[in-house]
Amino acid sequence: MRPDYFDHYPTIEFERTERGVLTMRLHSDHGPVIYSEQHHADWCGAFYEVGADRDNRIVIITGTGDAFIDKYGWTGTYSRAADWDDKAFEGRRMIRNYLDIEVPIIAAVNGPASIHNELAVLADIVLAATTATFSDAPHFPNRVPPGDGIQVIWQLLLGINRGRYFLLTGQELCAREALELGVVSEVLEPEALIPRANELAQQLAKVGTMTLRMSKAALVQDLKRLMDQQLTSSITMEGMAVMDMLMKRQKGDQN
pLDDT digits (tens, 9 = 90+) for 128-169: 999 999 999 989 988 889 988 999 999 999 999 999 999 999
State yes or no: pLDDT of 253 exceeds 90.
no
Q: Give the residue numbers annotated as catalytic, written as ranges.
A: 118
Task: Report residue 232's pLDDT band, with 50, 70 and 90 as the boundaries.
Answer: confident
Burial class (CB in 10 A: 0-12, 13-18, 19+), 224: middle
- Ramachandran quadrant class, 116 (left: phi over 0; alpha: psi -120 to 50; beta: rest): left
Give the range among 124-133, 189-198, 231-240 with minimum mean pLDDT.
231-240
Pairwise pLDDT comparison (172 vs 252), residue with the higher score: 172
190/62 Cα distance (integer angstroms): 12
Q: What is the pTM of this model?
A: 0.94
Which pLDDT does position 250 carry in this prediction?
Answer: 75
Domain boundaries, the chain: 4-249
State yes or no: pLDDT of 249 exceeds 80.
no
Length of the chain: 255
Quick one: which of 155, 142, 83 has its CA closest to 114?
142
CATH topology of domain 4-249: 2-enoyl-CoA Hydratase; Chain A, domain 1 (3.90.226)
Task: Report residue 243's pLDDT band, with 50, 70 and 90 as the boundaries.
Answer: confident
Quick one: which of 12, 25, 8, 95 has its CA closest to 60?
25
Q: Which residues pair with 64 in a beta bridge?
A: 67
